[in-house]
Amino acid sequence: MTRRIVLALLALTIVVVAAAAVPLGLSITEREHLAFRDKTQAAARVIASSAEEYLSDQDPATAMNADLAEAARAGDCAAVFDVHGRLVAATPCPITRSGEAGDLVDETLTGREPEPPETEGRLLAAEPVGTFRQPAGAVVLSRSTAPLDTRITVAWAWISLVAAAGVAAAALVSVRIARWVGRPLTTLDTAARNLGEGRLGERATVAAAPPEVRRLAATFNTMAARMEALIHGHQAVVADVSHQLRTPLAALRLRLDLLATATPEGAPELLASAQEEVARLSRLVDGLLAVARAEQAVPKPVPVHVNEVAADRVAAWEPIAQERGIHLTSHCQDGPPVALGPDHLEQVLDNLLANALDAVPDGGTVTLDTTPGPDTVRLKIVDDGPGMSPDAREQAFRRFGNPQARGSGLGLAIVHRLITANGGSIALEDTPGGGLTAVLDLPTWHDHRTP
């Protein structure tokens, strides 16, 4: 890619430089030719002016000879002809009436203004002595075009030098630009290859690069971090599941082995124990499936009235609470709806109420209440059970984080995932006087149809 960028920029630069340099050189060449011709004709007019004094006014030829001598010192060849075309005076390098010089004399004497021709490295110019309508003679001057050729060559050399310098500068700039763009992409390519080879900690460090490449690198790093978290999370799940399944499977195998050798009198008891282990395994697998569904959920929020859902779940769990002698109440106020996924609040409350009812002893209380706010609605599930230690509260939202859990240890992990996926938060606090309080901050529903 670097080579393609360099070649493309160089080709563009060469086209632009050529489009500017060639017309400029041609313009300078034309201007130099015009200036040289005008100066040659001006020198011929000077001699024609002094020759007019001699041929028309019959003055001495002193001024004419002086002008001819001056032209000779300048390297020019000049000749003065009378009205009949006879040579009157000339420089040491005379011009004869032959070839193009003779034609110029004839055209001038007949009243025409000839175009100065260029021949054999010299430019010829003819001027009438007097006026073109009534010439008293003609002056022909020949000047070498070597100085003109030198100036044109120098001009083209400078133009070529500047063009070459421009192309060289463009080459350097194009190389820098190509490296500026190409090196970060090479870094990204290396990082992607290393990530594909299993180096999950690989990140692309791109500092000096175009903004688009920096955004691409940031997106890549975000993707790599997410991939690393997902893979490590899956590895952790596999490790946790393997650890959690090992114990009930070992217990189930032991009971089945004992059942195979047990007496008829002890078989029912061993069979019941095996069935309990199977039920435990079933609950564990159900919990893992629930966690997986929660982690893969991408909720589409809907307005949910907390007081209505809380009253419904309290009514559903009330028979179990009465059976255990636990006082279950709801003091949720009527407030603004919250933005949660469909049925998410029901799952959250079912898990939290199940944990609370399992933890609270007979005669205890479990209370739900809410505190509406401008952006969130705070929901508390308060119990007066044994509570949790600070270390246990810190690990409670991880899979199998609570070693004292009576169930699968996955309920709070499901709750945490459902709440955070909807933009809320959950924390566990000590209940004043003893017990545990689950504090949920749920985002308030905002109707996007209104400005």
CB 138 within 8 A of CB 105: yes
Q: Indicate the pLDDT class of residue 283, thresholds 50, 70 and 90.
A: low
pLDDT at residue 113 in the model: 78
Q: If DSSP codes are grouped into helix, strand and coil, which group holds residue 380?
A: strand
Domain boundaries, the chain: 2-150, 211-294, 299-443
89 Cα distance to chain centroid: 82
Lowest mean pLDDT among 77-86, 99-108, 356-365, 423-432: 99-108
Please give the sequence-ordered ranges of beta strands (E in DSSP) within 116-269, or none if there are none: 118-119, 122-130, 135-144
Domains 2-150 and 299-443 share a fold: no
Rounded to two decimals, what is the model's pTM?
Answer: 0.46
CATH 3.30.450.20 fits 2-150, yes or no: yes
Lowest mean pLDDT among 69-83, 266-280, 322-336: 266-280
- Per-residue pLDDT averaged across 184-191, rounded? 81
Q: Is the pLDDT of residue 56 over 70?
A: yes
Cα end-to-end distance, the chain, whole Å: 48
Please give the sequence-ordered ranges of beta strands (E in DSSP) within 104-231, or none if there are none: 118-119, 122-130, 135-144
Written as one letter, the residue type at 149 is D
Which of the given ranges, 141-150, 268-277, 402-411, 439-448, has the highest pLDDT on average? 141-150
95-99 LR contacts (CB < 8 Å, sep 24+): 95/140, 95/142
pLDDT at residue 446 in the model: 75
Q: Is the pLDDT of residue 290 over 60?
A: no
> Tens digits of per-residue pLDDT, 435-451?
999 999 999 987 643 33
DSSP bridge pairs for 96: none
pLDDT at residue 157 in the model: 93
Q: What is 299-443's CATH number?
A: 3.30.565.10
Q: What is 211-294's CATH number?
A: 1.10.287.130
pLDDT at residue 255 in the model: 65
Question: Pick from 312, 447, 418, 424: which is nearest to 377 by CA?
Answer: 424
Q: Is the pLDDT of residue 401 over 70?
A: no
Q: Is the pLDDT of residue 374 over 50?
A: yes
Written as one letter, the residue type at 415 is V
